[in-house]
């Protein structure tokens, strides 16, 4: 058995790849469901019903999808430029902390500014925190060739430990009965609800607007052209006179800012304060979402809703049948592997 | 019944998607002959030998060696049957010695001791027998290209560790990297191998050497075997026509008086990032309307010279003036100054292969006012420019997807036409011709038709007043295009002398560094 490069990749293959990957993922995870002793068909039915089957399910899925869209965009733009940012988790927490530092500390009132000024300042601080966190690895990569996968991955642990220290120290909420959680954001800074009787908030709109904006950036602007060229042909881009290092820095700032924004949106839209379990791996799921979307910012929205549906659905499924809720994480992880294989098969065919 | 031939290919057929790469090819190789496989790129030569060596499996057809069928798709079976292959790009480990490279992969994993002594004896014996002198203990990284090729050949021939050494040797474009003298020495070794009863398949698209080295010539075109001719009695025009399918006209050179000095290099030296010298003490003066060719064996500093003159690399010492100005080492400034740049590696450096054709057509000028406003790319103008290039420079292969064709899917010749067009045409605000053309191996790997086209475009631009610096390892090309020729060796550039003052032998000597003409250097410096 061997792989042969295809002469060209058809549009149909590109559309079928994510669908095929998802179906294969569900087929593979059904083995685990069976192992857990649950009826496969009923379990999957419950999973889908739990994720998409009712008004409540759909609104919960959209709430979960909001930060996932943002981390998915963060990974998509970085991967387009071949900057393998695996640190969105850390950048998300950095953004969340920065948001609370601007809008929650100082006696629970935030900085002494009007909400009209304070809100943009909070968002800017969160984006800046995420961006700066990725700037270091990007510069180390361009200057010294340090592998950014390693640096960004390890920064996650550093940030999480720093968050842990802050939640028990400088940013600890004195009224939280000793729980390690931060001071809450000022009420005026919380995002408003999009729908009544749900948790869907205006952050979803921001995520949708940003995915269109990022798509347009990549498609229509000189910077987008540079990002795509530097990503798929760095030597040709340099030969043609593109500022390769500067493009890398801009992409790092953009990707980090999107992940940082995800943190701020979670705090302002859902939790209100920072806890250590605020993100159940949104950063890492962003990588999967970007790959499922084949790095297309518009497709990121669909991929994020799929992943969110699995996460939400697994919660309700695990209450009805004896499958632990961790099945959702397994599905997401296997989906990544299946998607990588499917992407490979769009470019190569298997020969005997 | 006569003995079966050494190798017999029976009706080999191989299809890649819609492309019939090998269409019913039947071919014999006898003991003691060199069979040349002649054809343009894409004619199916590589596919055929890949099937023979087991890299691909044929859709139909069989292979016999000495009358025994060869199981398809297994390189190990091909090796065991005595097929040795020397690839165009070497497959040696630079940090290991010659002996280690030859032994690599021949020893069983679980044997606790090594058989270096026996391997060494076998290596030296084979080297002696075929006139392939090498030092078994030298690290491969320290060898010249010609020596490395000898190691590759020895690796295929040495009997150590296998039941038998190669009886059939396949050489894929072996002379592409050699000096004329090294090629001669290779041909002498081939003659000895043939005398010893080996069969050699010699793949090439150079007509001279095919005629010189082989007994029979098999011509492939578009996957079909067009003819198998005895080399005696064949001639170049006949082979060229069989290869291309129509008579091929050589590029026409108009001579004109050189104009003003466009490029002036004075005692220029260049270092790499680690501070090692790449170019030392280069003096060069290039005028408008002339072609100056830099000859040399690959890896003697040509790449650094090309990078210097493409704005990719900065000078360490000395002066470099283009039209009397010192330009900063930024490609965009050079493009703006009217320098048309044709890089050596068209796939990885010339284009971004995954992007569509039209984006690659403006790759050097996407940020210029002609194509961009306020950070937005003017797609309409960029596409119009790309369409213009496709038409003017005859870029084919865009029938199904037009300007959105992924550049990867263009053939080498059409990709080069796109790069050539992009460089020569300028942009709508600054239409060509350029002031200077830096062409690094512009026809490497192209078929005869595309070569003639590229040559004609370079000569036409030169006649229109461009100064042309041609860096090439192909001496035929250099003699066809150049007004003056200089030879590069170990980062130094010899004196540029008129084409008529050079002979092939003199260039060969200068390329190997042994014929440096000190007298001429003194005269030139004075």
pLDDT in tens, A206-264: 999 999 999 999 999 999 999 999 999 999 999 999 999 999 999 999 999 999 999 99
CB-count exposure of residue B364 (10 Å: 0-12, 13-18, 19+): buried
More confident site: A35 or A4: A35
Instruction: Mark out the alpha helices in chain A (DSSP H runs).
Output: 11-35, 40-52, 55-80, 88-103, 105-108, 115-144, 148-167, 203-220, 222-232, 234-239, 244-266, 282-292, 297-320, 327-347
Q: Which of residues 118-177 of A touch B (CB under 8 A)?
A: none
Residue B510 near residue B487, CB atoms below 8 Å = yes
User: Looking at the structure, do residues B230 and B337 belong to the same domain, yes or no?
Assistant: no
Residues B297 and B158 in one domain: no
Q: Is A240 on the interface with B (CB under 8 A)?
A: yes
B102 and B217 housed in the same domain: yes
Does one domain contain both B41 and B150?
A: yes
Contact B262, B289 (CB under 8 A): no
Residue B237 and residue B331 in one domain: no
List the single residue in B16, B363, B409 with the smallest CB-CB distance to A240: B363
CB–CB contact B354 A232 (8 Å): yes
Q: Is B260 inside any structural domain?
A: no
In the predicted model, is pLDDT for residue A168 greater than 90? no
* φ, ψ (nearest 5 deg) of residue B61: 105, 160
Residues of A in contact with B363 (CB under 8 A): 229, 236-237, 240
Cβ atoms A135, A78 nearer than 8 A: no
Mean pLDDT comparison of A7-21, A171-185, A211-225, B403-417, highest-scoring range = A211-225
Picking from A289, A122, A269, the residue whose alpha carbon sits closest to that of residue A192 is A269
Q: Is B307 on the interface with A (CB under 8 A)?
A: no
Q: What is the pLDDT of residue B381?
A: 92
ipTM associated with this complex: 0.85
Same domain, B335 and B479: yes
Task: Give residues 379 to 438 of B whose Cβ lies within 8 Å of A.
Answer: 379, 406, 409
Say whether both B51 and B169 belong to one domain. yes
> Does A225 sit within 8 Å of B375, measured CB to CB?
no
Query: Residue B67 has what pLDDT?
Result: 87
Q: Which residues lie across from A226 on neighbouring strands?
A: none
| Domain carrying residue B473 | 289-313+327-525
Q: Is residue B250, in this structure, part of any structural domain at all?
A: no
Q: Which residues pair with B284 in a beta bridge?
A: B265
- The answer to whether B338 and B425 are in contact (CB under 8 A) is no
Are A237 and B352 a contacting pair at CB < 8 A?
Answer: yes
Residues of B with Cβ-Cβ distance to A222 under 8 angstroms: 366-367, 372, 375-377
Domain A2-351 CATH (choose: 3.30.1490, 1.20.1530, 1.10.3470, 3.30.2000): 1.10.3470
Asked if the structure places residue B56 within a domain, the reply is yes
What is the pLDDT at residue B160?
60
The total domain count for chain B is 2
Which pLDDT tens digit goes with each residue over A76-94? 999 999 999 999 999 999 9
The tokens for B38 are 């002649």
* Model pLDDT, residue A109: 65
> Which residues, 6 or more positions from B112, have their beta carbon under 8 angstroms from its beta carbon?
none
Which of A8, A223, A233 has its CB closest to that of B406? A8
B195 plus B54 within the same structural domain = yes
Q: How far apart are CA A92 and CA B306, in angstroms?
A: 46
The nearest alpha carbon in chain A to B400 belongs to: A8
Distance from CA of B18 to the nearest CA of A (A): 9
What separation, in Å, do the N-terminal and C-terminal C-alpha atoms of chain B show? 75
Other CB atoms within 10 A of residue B204 CB: 22
**CATH number of the domain encompassing residue B171:** 3.40.50.300
The domain boundary residue, chosen from B187, B219, B244: B244
Q: Do A7 and B57 touch (CB under 8 A)?
A: no
Per residue of chain B (526 residues), give pLDDT as tens: 567 889 999 899 988 777 788 889 999 999 999 999 988 777 888 889 889 988 888 899 999 988 889 888 888 888 888 888 888 778 888 889 998 888 887 766 676 677 788 888 888 888 888 888 888 888 888 887 788 888 988 888 886 655 566 889 999 888 877 777 888 889 999 999 899 889 999 998 778 888 989 999 999 988 899 889 898 888 888 888 888 777 766 677 777 778 889 999 999 999 988 888 999 999 999 999 999 999 988 778 899 999 999 999 999 999 999 998 999 999 999 999 999 999 988 888 999 988 999 999 999 999 888 899 899 999 999 999 999 999 998 888 877 778 888 888 888 888 999 999 999 988 888 776 899 999 999 988 787 778 888 999 999 999 998 999 999 988 888 998 999 999 998 899 999 999 889 988 888 888 877 754 443 443 343 3
Q: Count CB neighbours of B231 within 10 A.
A: 18
Mean pLDDT of A70-81: 96
> CA nearest B321: which of B260, B382, B272, B379?
B260
- State how far the Cα of B290 lies from the Cα of B482, in Å rounded to an integer: 8
Contact B312/A238, CB-based, under 8 Å? yes
In a domain, B277, yes or no: no
Q: Are residues B220 and B363 in the same domain?
A: no
| Cβ neighbours around A274 below 10 Å, total | 29
pLDDT of residue B201: 93
Of B244, B269, B297, the position where a domain reaches its end is: B244
d(CA B461, CA A89): 56
* Secondary element (H or E) of residue B26: strand B19-29
Relative orientation angle of helices A222-232 and A244-266, to the nearest 10 degrees: 110
Of all residues in chain A, the one with the smallest CA distance to B345 is A236
Establish if B216 belongs to a structural domain. Answer: yes
CB contacts, 8 Å: A238 with chain B: 312, 331
């Amino acid at each position: 058995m061997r792989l042969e490069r295809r002469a060209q990749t058809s549009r149909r293959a590109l559309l079928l790849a994510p669908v095929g990957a998802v179906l294969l993922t569900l087929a593979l995870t059904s083995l685990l469901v069976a192992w857990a002793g649950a009826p496969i068909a009923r379990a999957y039915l419950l999973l889908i019903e739990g994720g998409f089957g009712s008004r409540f399910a759909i609104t919960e899925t959209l709430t979960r999808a909001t930060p996932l869209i943002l981390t998915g965009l963060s990974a998509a733009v970085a991967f387009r430029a071949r900057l393998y940012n695996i640190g969105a988790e850390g950048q998300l927490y950095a953004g969340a902390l920065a948001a609370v530092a601007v809008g929650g500390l100082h006696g629970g009132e935030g900085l002494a500014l009007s909400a009209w000024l304070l809100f943009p300042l909070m968002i800017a601080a969160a984006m800046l925190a995420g961006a700066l966190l990725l700037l270091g690895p990007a510069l180390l990569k361009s200057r010294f060739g340090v592998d950014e996968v390693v640096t960004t991955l390890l920064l996650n642990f550093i940030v999480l430990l720093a968050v842990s220290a802050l939640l028990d120290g400088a940013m600890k909420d004195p009224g939280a009965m000793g729980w390690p959680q931060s001071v809450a954001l000022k009420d005026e800074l919380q995002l408003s609800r999009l729908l009544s009787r749900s948790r869907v908030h205006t952050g979803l709109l921001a995520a949708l607007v940003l995915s269109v904006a990022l798509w347009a950036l990549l498609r229509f602007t000189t910077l987008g052209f540079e990002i795509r060229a530097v990503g798929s042909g760095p030597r040709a881009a340099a030969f043609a006179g593109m500022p390769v290092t500067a493009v890398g820095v801009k992409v790092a700032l953009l990707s980090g800012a999107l992940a940082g924004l995800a943190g701020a949106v979670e705090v302002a839209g859902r939790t209100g304060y920072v806890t250590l379990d605020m993100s159940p791996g949104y950063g890492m799921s962003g990588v999967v979402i970007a790959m499922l979307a084949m790095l297309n910012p518009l497709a990121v929205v669909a991929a994020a809703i799929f992943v969110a549906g699995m996460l939400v659905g697994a919660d309700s499924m695990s209450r009805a049948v004896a499958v632990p809720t961790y099945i959702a994480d397994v599905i997401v992880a296997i989906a990544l592997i299946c998607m990588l294989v499917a992407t490979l098969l769009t470019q190569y065919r298997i020969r005997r | 019944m006569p003995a079966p031939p050494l190798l017999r290919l029976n009706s080999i057929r191989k299809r890649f998607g819609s492309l019939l790469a090998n269409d019913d090819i039947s071919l014999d190789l006898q003991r003691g002959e060199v069979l040349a496989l002649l054809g343009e790129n894409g004619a199916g030569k590589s596919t055929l030998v890949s099937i023979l060596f087991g890299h691909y499996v044929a859709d139909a057809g069989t292979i016999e060696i000495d009358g025994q069928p060869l199981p398809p798709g297994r390189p190990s079976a091909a090796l065991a049957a005595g097929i040795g292959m020397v690839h165009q790009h070497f497959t040696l480990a630079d940090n290991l010695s010659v002996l280690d490279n030859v032994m690599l992969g021949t020893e069983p994993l679980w044997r606790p001791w090594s058989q270096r002594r026996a391997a060494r004896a076998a290596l030296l014996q084979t080297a002696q027998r075929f006139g392939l002198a090498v030092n078994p203990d030298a690290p491969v990284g320290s060898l010249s290209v010609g020596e490395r090729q000898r190691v590759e050949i020895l690796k295929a021939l040495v009997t150590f560790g296998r039941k038998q050494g190669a009886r059939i040797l396949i050489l894929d474009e072996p002379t592409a990297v050699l000096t004329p003298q090294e090629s001669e020495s290779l041909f002498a070794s081939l003659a000895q191998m043939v005398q010893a009863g080996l069969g050699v398949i010699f793949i090439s698209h150079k007509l001279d050497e095919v005629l010189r080295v082989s007994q029979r010539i098999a011509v492939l075109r578009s996957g079909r075997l067009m003819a198998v001719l005895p080399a005696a009695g064949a001639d170049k025009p006949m082979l060229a026509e069989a290869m291309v399918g129509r008579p091929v006209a050589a590029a026409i050179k108009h001579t004109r008086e050189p104009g003003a000095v466009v490029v002036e290099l004075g005692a220029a030296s260049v270092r790499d990032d680690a501070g090692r010298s790449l170019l030392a003490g280069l003096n060069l003066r290039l005028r408008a309307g002339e072609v100056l060719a830099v000859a040399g064996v690959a890896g003697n500093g040509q790449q650094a010279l090309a990078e210097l003159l493409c704005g990719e690399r900065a000078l360490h010492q000395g002066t470099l003036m283009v039209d009397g100005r010192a330009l900063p080492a930024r490609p965009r400034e050079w493009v703006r100054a009217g320098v048309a740049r044709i890089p050596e590696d068209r796939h990885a450096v010339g284009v971004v292969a995954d992007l569509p054709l039209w984006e690659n057509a403006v790759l050097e000028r996407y940020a210029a006012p002609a194509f961009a406003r306020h950070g937005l790319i003017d797609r309409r103008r960029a596409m119009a420019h790309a369409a213009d290039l496709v038409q003017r420079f005859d870029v084919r292969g865009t029938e199904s997807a037009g300007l959105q064709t992924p550049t990867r899917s263009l053939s080498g010749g059409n990709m080069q036409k796109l790069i050539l067009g992009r460089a020569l045409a300028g942009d709508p605000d600054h239409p060509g011709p350029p002031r200077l053309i830096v062409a690094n191996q512009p026809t490497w790997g192209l078929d005869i038709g595309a070569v003639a086209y590229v040559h004609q475009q370079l000569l036409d631009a030169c006649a229109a007043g461009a100064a042309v610096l041609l860096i090439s390892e192909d001496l035929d090309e250099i003699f066809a295009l150049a007004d003056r020729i200089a030879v590069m060796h170990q980062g130094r550039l010899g004196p540029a002398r008129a084409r008529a003052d050079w002979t092939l032998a003199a260039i060969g000597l200068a390329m190997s560094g042994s014929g440096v003409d000190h007298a001429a250097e003194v005269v030139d410096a004075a």
